[in-house]
Structure 1
């Protein structure tokens, strides 16, 4: 009797026990789900932070390239124009970034194509998609809106800096700065929108990872237009075809400038991964470095064969040639292919410089042979080497080169010509011979003072 009663009691308690177990299981499940959600949120937050920090570091590396350009240009040009050179290279990123902020950024990344795939407007710096843009990820899920603007703005200013070296020592600084503002505000971002903004070149299949065409050859075409309208420096070319090499102000400064540019390229190409993805970023940094090394060796060997001397200038330009050549396909190439590209680019930069002199096109620092010639080659190399190699891709690359080149050169020629017609873009012969430092700036770049 007692046993039966106990059994009845246990049976009566069973539903309550089951309910308790079920409640506990549900609570544990909810707790697990909450923990997983919290972990997922933390992982996403950490990934965003890592990506954003890397992109900001890459931005800083691209920014330091302006100091590299200043060193190369000032080092390879005459001492009497040093302050003028440094003045231009100081104002170029300032004006370039402001121009890109006010107009260029909106044009380069359209949210609304007014002419399908050709011209449109985006959000712009003053009206981001979020409240203030600080943590707005609508535009790019990997990093913030502000970070994206600053990274892209550094690229825009770099394009204008390429022009500075080519037209040095005889261009009016006012004309150069006006050209920079116009070019960075409208021409560079328009061309960039056709690929990086999702325009018709992107839809066609054209590929330019970090800007062999969109940055380097676009700047190179503008430099060529400026050189053609300005004409050569006084005394550069003799009546019998001889080429006079003007002594640079500081070879050590030029070397420092090139190494700063090489350092900056880790951000230029590495940042173009647009995330801190370890596999792709590591590959890009390796291919970038190997191409630069191969370019240096090739530039020196080619110059030795042609000029019968060990030419430091061609070795330095060979480094830059390799860097420009790998930029379009740095994420697609194997290390061996990067070396091959660098070797070819290093030879091309020497041949390009020789051709410029034969045509009496005076390029003070070799900007056209580095950025234009090797930018074209690097873009075409995407169709010849690496993961996208093939005839169809090569055709797409060639079309992109022709379209971007035609617009970049044509627009630059028109801008320079209009400026030349209005008030002239070249300094007087007197100012050029004496040096622009004393006439335009009132100080010299190198001054030795002896105490009495």
Structure 2
């Protein structure tokens, strides 16, 4: 075979995109460890099974029809109409790599979206209902929203800029998570009779931190891989802004909790770093180093504020999916309109890009929230959306999977005893 510069470049791009897709897929290990570490032991196997369901069912659904709705030929700026089972006419995509390679990369993104919702309903969603919701999210909600912004739809035509998905993935997934948390309701004992939040101790914070590190690692594939080219000169800058924003988000929450509570709160710092990663995802290729630091810092502070907002409204989100993904994703999307060196308000003096970003954010957030709300209501007509009180008390590991992560029989304690333990912990 005769090698040419063109074929060599295509080969390098293919390796880069496949490697980036693998890095994004590894983020599922991060989601699994993060969520399993944040919830109680009696529900950790259920977390792992939901992640495997995300990967297996979500991949197949996206292959059969999700990809077509997202990247098929545009119909009215709303939906794609070709590419089912990767067949039909997809020549309009004009890809720098093969269709198979591009699909693999996009499938990894799709799996990440559904995993955002998984954390918000941890410890109390019916497993069968969750399986049906995976089909809804990966086959309809995310692909159609993604088509609007990335697949040639109406937001693409307006000029919305979302390089790797602060809006398309994180805001859409985060607002979907909020709707799911509202539908399912809080865990038993999460809020006392006065409405105050009780402490639910994480099962394993070191495990959760390893999950966060895996997510951080995978994010370089998430952001830099979105160039779809191994020779794109922006890769280094994208990786740098990603690193700076994550570090800034974590550092701000570390210092904030240290001064406010006289101790650095580990879950807050973990989520602060993740918030920084979410916040920079839209603008990683478009903003300066200093803007990335500011975006990450504000993401961390907004995450803390959103966490308090949820608690005040008795909304139970065990892993902070809404504060990390929806709120930080919303800020990151708007930040492009402010800080983008090409078209941002602070550089061009024009409000146009910021207006487009705000419109796109609102559309995707409402789409994710409403479709999830309606979808789960319809699913509830087929199977219960929430686990029973007995299933929740015993633990979803035993109830749905017939096995525990480890022999921790002392986890099964009286509800009032657990309540008193929470009160004692809060008074320490």
Are the counterparts in 1 of residues 68 and 86 from structure 2 also a CA contact under 8 Å?
no
Are the counterparts in 2 of residues 304 and 311 from structure 1 also a CA contact under 8 Å?
yes
Query: What is the distance in 1 between the residues matched to 2:187 and 2:57?
Result: 26
Are the counterparts in 1 of residues 249 and 272 from structure 2 also a CA contact under 8 Å?
yes
Are the counterparts in 1 of residues 82 and 89 from structure 2 also a CA contact under 8 Å?
no
Q: Tell me the residue number matched to 1:417.
A: 377
Q: Which ranges of structure 2 fall in alignment gaps of 5 or more residues? A: 346-350, 410-428
Q: Which ranges of structure 1 fall in alignment gaps of 5 or more residues? A: 1-37, 131-136
Pick one of 252, 277, 285 that aligns with 1:298: 252
Are the counterparts in 2 of residues 56 and 151 from structure 1 also a CA contact under 8 Å?
yes
Does 2:391 correspond to 1:431?
A: yes
Pick one of 61, 69, 72 that aligns with 1:110: 72
Are the counterparts in 2 of residues 302 and 350 from structure 1 also a CA contact under 8 Å?
no
Are the counterparts in 1 of residues 128 and 383 from structure 2 also a CA contact under 8 Å?
no
Pick one of 15, 19, 24 that aligns with 1:57: 19
Q: Tell me the residue number matched to 1:395.
A: 355
Does 2:138 correspond to 1:184?
A: yes
Q: Secondary structure at the match of 2:149?
A: coil
Query: What is the distance in 1 between the residues matched to 2:255 and 2:194?
Result: 28
Q: Tell me the residue number matched to 2:194.
A: 240
Q: Secondary structure at the match of 1:194?
A: helix
Q: Secondary structure at the match of 2:234?
A: helix
Of 138-147 and 229-238, more deviation after overlay is shown by 138-147
Pick one of 82, 85, 88 that aligns with 1:125: 85
Does 2:408 correspond to 1:444?
A: no
Q: Tell me the residue number matched to 1:265.
A: 219
Deviation by residue 1:31-62 (Cα, 9 ceiling, x = unmatched)? xxxxxxx99x7110111011111001000000
TM-score normalized by structure 2? 0.91
Q: How does 1:7-18 map to 2 (within 5 A)?
A: none
Does 2:40 correspond to 1:78?
A: yes
Deviation by residue 1:178-203 (Cα, 9 ceiling, x = unmatched)? 00111110111001011111111011
Q: How many positions carry a matched residue from both structures?
A: 403
Q: Larger C-alpha radius of gyration, 1 or 2?
A: 1
Q: Tell me the residue number matched to 2:28.
A: 66
Report the alpha carbon displacement of residue 85 of structure 1 after superposing the two structures with TM.
1.1
Q: Tell me the residue number matched to 2:5.
A: 43
Q: How does 1:298-447 map to 2 (within 5 A)?
A: 298-387=252-341, 388-390=343-345, 391-447=351-407
Q: Secondary structure at the match of 2:384?
A: coil
Report the alpha carbon displacement of residue 420 of structure 1 after superposing the two structures with TM.
2.1
Q: Could you say if the C-alpha distance between residues 306 and 354 of structure 1 is closer, same or farther in structure 2, counting changes exceeding 3 Å?
A: farther
Report the alpha carbon displacement of residue 80 of structure 1 after superposing the two structures with TM.
0.8
Are the counterparts in 2 of residues 290 and 338 from structure 1 also a CA contact under 8 Å?
yes
Pick one of 183, 202, 208 that aligns with 2:156: 202
Are the counterparts in 2 of residues 108 and 122 from structure 1 also a CA contact under 8 Å?
no
Query: What is the distance in 1 between the residues matched to 2:47 and 2:95?
Result: 40
Are the counterparts in 2 of residues 165 and 363 from structure 1 also a CA contact under 8 Å?
yes
Query: What is the distance in 2 between the residues matched to 1:57 and 1:422?
Result: 40
